[in-house]
DNA sequence: GTGCGTGCAAACGGTTTGCATGCTT
DNA sequence: AAGCATGCAAACCGTTTGCACGCAC
């Protein structure tokens, strides 16, 4: 799916230096956790996971760090109808399957759409940056 | 874009009767407001608009009513990265352009995507209900 | 008349913020 | 040594909930 974690971490460190962000243990740990996660975790979920190896890390730091990462484009917030914010590392173009029942989110590729031009009417709206497909349904686990 | 408001209202009344929802002034006013809105309003925004003609309507009622409407499929929550919930009446298949700067949301049609089959891998995920494209960019107003 | 829907007010929960301390640079 | 980042605790704000009254049926 994506690059090995070590390479991502190295790239992350470089990016931090580039934009002048201090490389703290917390930031490294949080980035690593988001990069390893495949489930688009919430701030709270990350807090719980990090608490084992990092008992002193506070929830505020997670929120602040996630906001910083989003601001610099290292990670992205995920589009959902939930009020809970979910995050993922910024990697290659992909789309989301969301289960209406358990809210689980899965990534999938759809290059047909990535390459398809938007309808011409959208051109007059402004500048287009990116497009993502959100698919709703019910996952196999919830169906059975 | 969509049907005349009177027809929508009539259909709404019928639907309420069908599912056994009492037809209160509040529900009618809220439905009408969402149906007339083109800007995917928040609960708060609806509250402000309704306050002129309906000074006694409370914000809680708006929240409760919106939840009821969503539950019955009369309206939909909109996918965004905001923590604010936004709503729109359920009408024909469409997609969203979102301005990263002012958060304004605009509808657009893209039948190419509506008709395109999802990649086969998604079939093993579960049951697919619907798919929507979310496009991010910066609208003309914010660009100038 | 019955009981669902509403208004009021208080609670809730995720997220943000001010301030003093600590750690990266 | 300088000042950004963190931890703590309190504030914030959108949303939900309990309760008693009122209105649609």
Best of B125, B141, B143 to disrupt the A interface (most A CBs within 10 Å) is B125
pLDDT digits (tens, 9 = 90+) for A31-53: 999 999 999 999 999 999 999 89
Q: Does A97 touch chain B (CB under 8 A)?
A: yes
Closest C-alpha to B80, from B37, B130, B42, B31: B42
For the CA atoms of A74, A79, A82, A86, what is the dihedral angle to 10 degrees? Answer: -20
Residues B37 and B107 in one domain: no
Identify the bridge partners of residue B139 per DSSP, sorted by sequence position: A126
Would you state the pLDDT for residue A1? 56
pLDDT digits (tens, 9 = 90+) for A97-132: 999 999 999 999 999 999 999 999 999 999 999 999
CATH number of the domain within which A102 lies: 3.30.1490.190
Strands B105-108 and B75-77: unpaired
pLDDT at residue A3 tops 90: no
Q: What is the mean pLDDT of chain A?
A: 95
pLDDT digits (tens, 9 = 90+) for B57-99: 999 999 999 999 999 999 999 999 999 999 999 989 999 999 9
Would you state the pLDDT for residue B2? 67
Provide, in whole angstroms, the distance separating residue A71's CA from nucleotide D9's C1': 26
Question: pTM of the entire structure?
Answer: 0.93
Cβ of residue A82 near strand C, that is under 7 Å? no
Q: Do A130 and B122 touch, CB atoms closer than 8 A?
A: no
pLDDT digits (tens, 9 = 90+) for A24-36: 999 999 999 999 9
> Last residue of a domain, which of A73, A88, A103?
A88
Instruction: Give the structural domain span for A132.
Output: 95-143
- Closest CA–CA distance from residue A102 to any residue of chain B (Å): 12
Would you state the pLDDT for residue B1? 55
Q: Does B80 touch chain A (CB under 8 A)?
A: yes
CATH number of the domain within which B29 lies: 1.10.10.10
Q: What share of chain A in percent tops pLDDT 90?
A: 94
Provide, in whole angstroms, the distance separating residue B89's CA from nucleotide C5's C1': 22
- Determine the nucleotide nearest to A64 by Cα–C1' distance: C16
């Amino acid at each position: 799916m994506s690059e090995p974690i070590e390479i991502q971490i190295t790239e992350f460190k470089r990016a931090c230096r580039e934009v002048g962000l201090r490389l703290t243990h917390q930031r490294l740990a949080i980035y690593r956790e988001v990069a390893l996660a495949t489930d688009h975790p919430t701030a709270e979920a990350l807090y719980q996971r990090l608490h084992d190896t990092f008992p002193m890390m506070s929830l505020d730091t997670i929120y602040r760090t996630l906001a910083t990462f989003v601001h610099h484009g290292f990670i992205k917030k995920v589009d959902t109808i939930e009020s809970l914010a979910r995050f993922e590392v910024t990697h290659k173009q992909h789309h989301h399957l969301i289960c209406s029942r358990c809210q689980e989110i899965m990534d999938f590729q759809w290059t047909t759409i990535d390459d398809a031009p938007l309808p011409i009417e959208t051109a007059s709206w402004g500048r287009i940056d990116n497009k993502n497909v959100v698919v709703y349904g019910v996952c196999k686990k919830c169906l059975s």
